[in-house]
Amino acid sequence: MDLRKLKTLIDLVQQSGIAELEITEGEEKVRISRGVSGGAAQVMAPPGTVYMTAPMMQPPGASAPAAPEAQTPPEPEGHVVKAPMVGTFYRSSAPGAKPFVELGQAVKAGETVCIIEAMKLLNEIESDRDGIIKEVLVENGQPVEYGQPLFLVV
């Protein structure tokens, strides 16, 4: 497939707003995709052929995406109890039961502060420091990632 045809196809994808176009001519196959986050349309062809990218045009009336601000949130004062695993965060042992800890409550190292359910197993998470619960950083029933802050202890 010659470059003029490829250029025409790229222009067609940009103007029409379609996300992807795939064309097969004999043994040649070309796929043109508009990457939403990448900012370019990509042309893919069989091995040994040329790969091209074309700039994406903004739809009429759309403004360019704003660059995210490079501000880092202020570091919390105190010790952060983090999730040691991926799972679902629970503040109490059963629905409707009293939470393990409340805001302002004193905790000792080794005291259970919450449960993380992972693969149908309930894992008790303990405070790794003596202190007072200043803030609960996760909502009950919310999924958590490894290393995600759960509590702020001062």
| pLDDT tens digits, one per residue of 88-102 | 999 999 989 999 999
Q: What's the whole-number average pLDDT of the chain?
A: 79
Using the predicted structure, report yes or no on whether residue 9 has a pLDDT greater than 90.
Answer: no
Please name the residue that has the structure tokens 């949130």. Answer: 73
pLDDT at 35: 63
Q: Which domains does the chain have, with CATH numbers?
A: 3-55 (no CATH), 79-153 (2.40.50.100)
Q: How far apart (Å, rounded) are the C-alpha atoms in residues 122 and 120?
A: 7
**pTM > 0.95: yes or no:** no
Using the predicted structure, report yes or no on whether residue 120 has a pLDDT greater than 80.
Answer: yes
Minimum mean pLDDT range among 2-6, 38-42, 104-108 = 38-42
pLDDT at 13: 75
Token couple for 80: 């952060």
Q: Summarize the confidence of residues 68-78 as an average pLDDT.
A: 62
Q: How far apart (Å, rounded) are the C-alpha atoms in residues 45 and 53?
A: 12
DSSP category for residue 68? P
With b meaning 16 or more CB within 10 Å and e meaning fewer, what string describes 71-107? eeeeeeebbbbbbbbebebbbeeeeeeebbbeeeeeb
| β-pairing verdict for 112-118 and 87-90 | antiparallel
Q: How far apart (Å, rounded) are the C-alpha atoms in residues 80 and 106?
A: 15
